[in-house]
Chain A
Amino acid sequence: MRTFRFTPRRVAAAIGLGTLVVLVGFGRRPDAQPGPGIAAPTPAPVDFNTEIRPLLGRACLSCHGPDSAARQAGLRLDLASSATSTLESGRRAIVPGDPDAGALLGRVTASNPARRMPPPKTGLALTDAEIDRLRRWIAEGAAYDPHWAFVPPGRPTPPTVIGAAHPIDAFIRARLAEEGLAPSPEADRETLIRRVTLDLTGLPPTVEEVDAYLADVEPGAYERVVDRLLASPRYGERWASLWLDLARYADTKGYEADRRRTMWPYRDWVIRAFNDDMPFDRFTVEQIAGDLLPDPTTAQLVATAFHRNTMTNDEGGTDDEEFRVAAVIDRTNTTMQAWMGLSMGCAQCHTHKYDPITHDEYYSFYDFFNQSEDSDQMDDRPLQAAPTPEQTIALRDARATLDDAYRRLDDTIAAGPTTATDFGDARFRPRDEARDLLWIDDDVPAGATTDAPGGVDAWTWVGEDDGPVRSGARAIRLAAPGREVTQVYFNHARRHLDIDAGTRLFAHVHLDPEDPPAAIMLQWYSIQQGWSHRAYWGENAIDLGGVDGGPTRRRIGDLPPTGRWVRLEIDPADVGLTDLSVNGWAFTQAGGTVTWDAAGLTTTAPDDAPYVHDLDAWIARVNEGRWPDVPDDLRVAAAAGLPRTDAQRRALHRHFALMVSVDDLGPVLPLAESVRAAEARIASIETSVPMLPIMRERPEPDRRATHVHQRGNYRDPGARVTADVPAALSAFRPEWPRDRLGLASWLTSRDNPLTARVFVNRIWEAMFGIGLVETAEDFGVQGTPPSHPRLLDWLATDFMDHDWRVKALCRRIVTSATYQQSSDVRDGDLEHDAYNRLLARGPRFRLPAEMVRDQALAAAGLLAPTMYGPPVFPPQPDGVWMVVYSDDHWATDVDADRFRRGVYTFWRRTSPYPSMTTFDAPSREFCVSRRLRTNTPLQALVLLNDPVYIEAAGGLALRMLDGSDLDDDARIACGVRRCVARAPSEAETAMLVDLLSDARQALAAAPDQAGALLREARVDVPPDDATTVERASWVVVANVLLNLDEMLVKR
């Protein structure tokens, strides 16, 4: 038998290679043809990529590799040309076919420590087995095969294996047969639906879904479940979590201050992209270079926030350039890591010691990202408005309403004069007869602001009942003791009084004969000169500015007679108002009681356009520079003269109707109001639209010159480089632009050896717990070779052939018999294949952090289905956030938001949500390819005591108590099924019933405790002790169910 044995010696050897697959691949080419499972009489030839390259990488290349700065003796062992040519010493390291002729074997076996390689102090000594392998490889000709991952995947034909119609099964079973292992039987249906529901949606199946599947005896039942799950909106939420680790998505900026920033529209974009089954190549292009696409949509701009998830440093005194450079380096590394599974970080400071990426090539790649506008600014500019779909709809509706209002306005205007105010361009109809145009009567003009916050109603008014009224329903009444000065005023009236030659100002006044004032004053506010126009009667007793005797304070005459209404009239020239526009008025007195009413202008303007003028008069004033706040385009239109274009006419009409003549326009008025309402609605939506950082390219003249950072120090620039990709990878085609868009084309090109392999490996890892390439983060020379290289290539090419559709890939995997196997560990399984790399059994591993949370809430019936939007704040202990330099704090949500899926939980980089971290979620400061799984007592404490899980226990207890006619056994069965999708055995039920009765007994003795527990679980405390104890006892049982190992594990 050539079965693999898990012996310490081989483990020790494997440690050096950092891989178990090397263990199973020892002495054998990968994916050898299925054999009878009997050892061949002679060993298979040594495979360079799986058996020699990792050995050289571990022990030799740091001094004899690509990095010329570190190279010793001029020897490169990663290149055949160097390894086999004559060295500085005059010898050759390797003479192919003759192990003892070259220097290499002598050095690795030398007994003299000074000559021994690797030097003993490095602790990298080769084992006897490794030395033997080197010897055989040289004897067999020392063939240097290129690193597998840098060669584009071929299209292997699945081996023919009886009973394995699915290509995945064919590859897996062929290998199992070779190892003499048998696959496991199919998992039972309850296990299977739980497994596939968790994998595809991140949530457990409901009891109803399990029942439906159990009842579906027609062929294709499983596939129907799979298709239902792939169509579920929960699918996108599940897979987004995987991508967001790579995107280092978080809701804060990182570094010391770690302030909040709006990134969640990007998170929602990712969820939607998965749910819409956006092809992965498109997914790539939009995130890397959405801004460079022709006429990018808002969604495509939002996608570029992928690379704005880099950290921003707000700490005082930091050098923005230093952290801009850090962000660009992060983008460089993240792009290589997320798409190509390569770590370029080493090459930041020096040429990569293992992978063929030179120091210069690193900065050529860096140049792709060095041309964006962002530069570690506090406000994270450039920003993009990213309305949610709801906001987009609301905005579209509001804009349609506005358009409609404008159209009706335009139609009304076009239909002809709606009042005597003529909207025509040249139909001004002057009248000779002067008339009083009332400006102030019962109210102030529209748009005016008064001296008091309460507006005009804060003034004292008298009506017919309690005082003299000259006109309308009321008059202004002011009283002041002694000679004290008092006044009311307003300004900013939207429509102005235009003071032309021949006009006169007037007001009506009534002085109380019992309490006459010492003086009264009228004052006007002109747009041009402000409040510097005063006219007074009586003594010069009001000193509110101005020079007595001039237009700024002109005495008109004595006080008028008391006890009756008197009309005051002023020549505007006396107060310097000729050819000015008035938009404010003040009534002032020194002592006494005075009533004012009916003030305005005597003019020759038409009586039915009473106060100002028509359109032409307004246009004339605009052209004379006597009208403030006119947009430039309107000034141009006004100055254009006749004939105007339709657009100019319409713009002038609209502005006049909306902004100038606010009333007395008959049917125009309500239309103008609906325009204003629509504009206000748009403004209010727009202020709530999130603004998120995006990528934007600097214009060509501002391109940054990229230099190599010598020893990784950006202040020490070396040679100038321009955008390019490492030569060892696929070629950059000449037709691609040398920018991020070209880079995206390169990443998604069919020639790219890595992108598809790396992504299918991620999906495989999420499903099976370990990738086909175990080091998902390193497909380079130092990474582990794939356990099933031909299967990996088949999946990668199948993925590309199917338009990079992720759902099709998921469906491929979950419909394989390999995926559907039972995960129970059989006798011998652990000895043969402890880590299940060969997949003789189904996947079995602890759920990721988000699923641990979501599953508990789902089982408890608490999970809130709301999707998308700003991040939420489920319960978190006080004091976890200790934020420097700000008062920001965690405000726990009180509504259903506390029960949202984990993907929506607020992610603070310097203080991630505790239970997430405890279950191995990263901080999201940097791109992370793989979460290591740990098993710690802190996890037990979370599940036992975190208020989230106590609340879940409360929810689950209430679910179990639903239905009045059930006995304890049935209630327990309900709870177990909600948690683990299967019914409990009799023995399990008996154990839980025992616990229930012990809990009842214990809590009956302490009903206060029972009440306290219910409050912790946020379950209503009933008035009677018996019910309280009963409910609390079920909370105890629910708490145990939610902690079942079976629940934490996908199996």
Chain B
Amino acid sequence: MTKHDGLSRMQDVTRRHFLTQCRVGIGGIALASMLGRDLPALGDVPDATRTFAGPHFAPRAKRVIYLHMAGSPPQQDLFDYKPRLNELNGRPCPDSLLENERFAFIKGHPTILGSPYSFARHGRSGGWVSELMPRLADVVDELVFVRSMYTDQFNHAPAQLFLYTGSPRLGRPSMGSWLLYGLGSENRDLPGFVVLVSGAKTPSAGKSVWGSGFLPSVFQGCQCRASGDPVLYVSDPDGLSRDLRRRGLDTLRDLNARRAAETGDPETLDRIAQYELAFRMQMSVPEVMDIGREPQHVLDLYGATPGGSSFANNCLLARRLAEQDVRFIQLFDWGWDTHGTNPSDDIITQLPRKCRETDQPIAALILDLKQRGLLDDTLVVWSGEFGRTAMNEKRNGSVYLGRDHHPHCFTIWMAGGGVRAGTVYGATDDLGYRIVENPVHVHDLQATILHLLGLDHEQLTYRFQGRRFRLTDVHGNVVHDLMA
């Protein structure tokens, strides 16, 4: 048997193997993984959508940019305008707010905390936005606010896990992993699930919020970093030129191909392909991560600074990644946990600082996506992991103003891909404490996001340890009223 014969025979086998998976879709991937077989890798498949289940129905969006404000912003000071809070400012809160409640830090009988910020209606839609987010107020007609979000969890790590994996405990796949598992990647040269972190800290729940849990690790989020290699080990060592790297890879490929012909192992061919993809990623990742390629007016629009590390840079990177058809782009920004124990975590100093850091870049992202025609099929989501209390936390008698964790209601917004822009969904009571209209549970949000991407949350399942798992556990309802 000649080398060529052997290779083509195995390519044949590999192709058949691949086609088989096409036919069986998601189950095939599950089967392959249960069999312990190596899986098609990120973007390694010429037409990824054929390999995976593909959408269950026509998608409204092809990709997601999720902006997470880790620590959780106070809804009362940004989007959920409550004049009654200001009237009662400083008074002991009604007893009804304390019944059957437990708080992370509030002790005794707390007082109501009004918002120190003024609110106004903006845009044609007249959406309420506080003075802390002036730029965002300009694009309010692109947003749908959900003022009636709620969660089961009142501490950061479990609440973040709950939001992204559907479970407050570790070990489940994250939303981006589910999307990649269901839809595959559309870019041959980049990871399909990219994570960008700002504020110098990873979110409380750690990397599990972009982990693949029990799904194969090919589906986990790939953290791209602002300093050092944007993807771990993407740079060649000093002294090894691109040409010499290529030369070495040529020899490696030839040696591997010879062995593949001798041993007949199709996995060796897979590995050759992975090395070639790695070589391409060495070019494509640093390229897409280099915002220095952007013209000055775009940098100015975002307030981004090449070489730096900031939320603004990450917003611009998010647009660049969206342009490259990366499926799930997850931004985490640290520093929103405004308890009011000192000026660096209060709502007078810290909250405006965080708003200044994020307001312009977020508005820029919306505008930039829109003017490039990307907003139509990109879903942008902004949220924390829970809400904050109507009461001043006053931990240990602190004189700084701040709010404790509050799972019963919070506000998020979405834009782009198929959402009913310029509307508000759900409502809270006068004190912004409990939901009075159209509650949206975290599992409902997950179901809705999957739906916008063309996936039925009840059908996107994976069997593990004898059970069929899904992102929404055994819950979740798609909120059709949020869709255009």
A: which residues have CB within 8 A of B? 6, 8, 11-12, 14-16, 18-20, 123, 254-256, 258, 311, 313, 315-319, 326, 337, 342-343, 345-346, 354-355, 769-770, 774-775, 777-778, 780-784, 823-827, 829-830, 834-835, 844-846, 877-880, 882, 884, 909-911, 914, 917-918, 920, 923, 925-926, 930, 932-942, 944-947, 950, 987-988, 991-992, 994-995, 998-999, 1002-1003, 1006, 1008-1017, 1032, 1036, 1039-1040, 1043-1046, 1048-1049, 1051
Contact = CB atoms under 8 A, between A and B. Distances in A.
Interface stretch (B27-35, B86-94, B286-294, B356-364): B27-35
B237 interface: yes
B281 A1043 contact: no
Nearest to A926: B171
B152 to A, nearest CB: 10
A942 B228 CA distance: 15
B244 interface: yes
Given A345-B467, A830-B13, A914-B232, A932 B217 contact: yes
Contacts of B20: 6, 8, 11
A1040 B263 CA distance: 20
B216 A346 contact: no
A783 B466 CA distance: 6
B396 interface: no
B23 A933 contact: no
Contacts of A343: 465-467
A1046 B259 contact: yes
Given A937-B277, A1051-B263, A1040 B155 contact: no
Contact of A942 (B225, B233, B247, B252): B233
Given A934-B216, A937-B274, A942-B233, A12 B23 contact: yes
A920 B217 contact: yes
Interface string B268-285: 101110110110011000
Interface string B246-266: 011001101110111011111
Q: Which of A834, A911, A1051 has the most CB of B within 10 A?
A: A834
B269 to A, nearest CB: 9
Given A935-B38, A1045-B259, A317 B278 contact: no
A998 B466 CA distance: 54
A936 B232 contact: no
Given A12-B24, A934-B41, A936-B218, A18 B30 contact: yes
Interface residues of B, number: 94
28 contacts: A11-B23, A313-B157, A319-B102, A346-B466, A774-B35, A778-B465, A781-B466, A823-B265, A824-B263, A829-B264, A884-B204, A925-B208, A932-B36, A934-B41, A934-B216, A935-B39, A936-B274, A937-B274, A937-B275, A944-B236, A945-B235, A946-B232, A999-B244, A999-B247, A1012-B239, A1044-B259, A1045-B256, A1045-B268
B38 A941 contact: no
A987 B258 contact: yes
Interface centre among A911, A937, A1008, A1009 (most CB of B within 10 A): A937
Contacts of A910: 202, 205-208
A947 B239 CA distance: 13
Nearest to A950: B237
B371 interface: no
A342 B247 CA distance: 50
A925 B465 contact: no
B38 A934 contact: yes
A212 B198 CA distance: 57
Interface string B207-228: 1100100001110001001011
Given A935-B39, A945-B237, 5 more contacts: A316-B105, A826-B264, A930-B36, A938-B231, A938-B278
B28 A11 contact: yes
Given A769-B36, A935-B274, A991-B254, A1040 B248 contact: yes
A1013 B236 CA distance: 10
B267 A846 contact: yes
Contacts of B274: 935-937, 939-940
B118 interface: no
B243 interface: yes
Contacts of B170: 254-255, 311, 909, 923, 925-926
A736 B23 CA distance: 53
Contacts of B467: 343, 345-346, 782
Contacts of B205: 256, 910
Nearest to A319: B102
B252 A884 contact: no
A1044 B255 contact: yes
B206 to A, nearest CB: 3
Contacts of B463: 18, 782
